[in-house]
Structure 1
Amino acid sequence: MTAPSIWPIPADLRRAIRRQDFHSHTAGQAPGHAQGNLAILPRDYADEFLRFCRLNPKSCPVIGMTEPGDPSVPELGAGIDLRHDVPAYCVFRDGEFSGEVADLGELWRDDLVGFVIGCSLSFEAALIDALVPVRHIENDHPVPMYNTSIRNTPAGRFGGNMVVSMRPMTPAQAIRAIQVTSRFPAVHGAPVHLGDPARIGIADLSRPDYGQPADMREGEIPVFWACGVTPQQAIRSARPPLAITHKPGYMLVADIRNSQLAAL
């Protein structure tokens, strides 16, 4: 049977990922349900990374955390297994990217701790409900993401710069988007910048560091949100012997609803 383009039920989507029947980005999947960024680190780095997240809540709002060696995150959904439930993972060794894998069965260790970090894909259903267009969903590709010159607040070995995601909008749509996303601090909340990308160290919007470029139309401005890919920059700074993240745009889709993460 041909897989649906949109999986409405998170558990069904995760089962398809485990069977390796789903290999795509997750933007627009399971509308209304929370999505999460992933960072997995050895136990002796976990406390330091958690402190980094607490010092950088815009880019790294933790919505779930595992016990060492346990891949489940019961507060986000029954049966979630971080070893198998993300469409693609990035592996880092000594802080350097070493490749992508589709499953963590052979890499998982008893000392690994998983962190699930709120993702801006979670508030996109609310934007669409508010009649604010989301270009990368319309065009069916991952959101464009960029490294910036905005410094993270360091915590021990973890530092680096913030990563942002970008959505093109008219100024009126951007104002509405600020109102909508301010309700969701657990998934990055309001934008961190809008307008001139050079002011945050982005030289060329047509060349994102992650994801795919979004076409900017006449009368639109770029609107930037803090992004859960920021831990990848922190990992490069800390240089742990092993670290694992999601592939940007290829998220963990949880059972909890976005409304459960809303502040208002």
Structure 2
Amino acid sequence: MMTLNDGRQMPQMGLGVWQMPEDETAVAVGHALQAGYRLIDGAKLYGNEEGLGQAVRDADIPREDIFVTSKLWNDEQGRDAARRGFDATMDRLGLDYLDLYLIHWPVPAQDLYVETWKVLIELREEGRVKSIGVANFQEPHLTRLIGETGVTPVLNQIELHPAFAQAQMRAVHDRMGIATQSWAPLGRGADFDSDAVAGIAARLGVDPAQVIIAWHLAHGLSVIPKSQNPERQKRNLAALELRLSDADIAAIDALDHDNRTGPDPETFSG
């Protein structure tokens, strides 16, 4: 578990549901919950909040033991739009509250992220959201949010994998007391065959995905790999018990070559 800057706890590892078909999401999330996952990361953009919510409601697990995240999309920024966007997300999920709500992208060209952040603060104060954070924010965006509202996000979810290790942003987060959560944590498999990852996997008798997940965990990051396959979900979760040596971690660190695969947060508008 990780302790967020608002005092709440969040599982360090969870399941991402990006690109899961709506009609398959409930089954996939259900399998994950049965396997032991307790953090499920969703978003309005993913188009499968109904399936995610159904799995949570149908699970024979107390609601308070499942940590559910969703995100506000770019066209929902602004005071009134953010309220409507949140209400629509909750209608689709069919849940009474959300554990974590994120602004999905800063979209600096719109210049609405501070206004939107103030809405998230209100939703937290109303008890409709337990914790609030952001995704894909850069240091200037975070500095402005905190400076204008006095409220620091609990978490920033950013693209992060061995080829794009984001050391600078991780240091910013550490300084500000913000948890780092990695999206695309496996780098879409690009480093699976590298000498470092493949060699460690062979020596430890595990698969490359488990090695990379263990690398994220060793750095104190939250990680949300996506998988619909029940056996793959179990293997990914087993990486929580995998311990890498300092030499292993350094070898994977050396794979970093600033290879961003997703959009640039400074220019992306969706």
Q: What TM-score, normalized by structure 2, do the two folds share?
A: 0.25
More helix, by proportion: 2
Q: TM-score, normalised by structure 1?
A: 0.26
Q: Greater strand share, 1 or 2?
A: 1
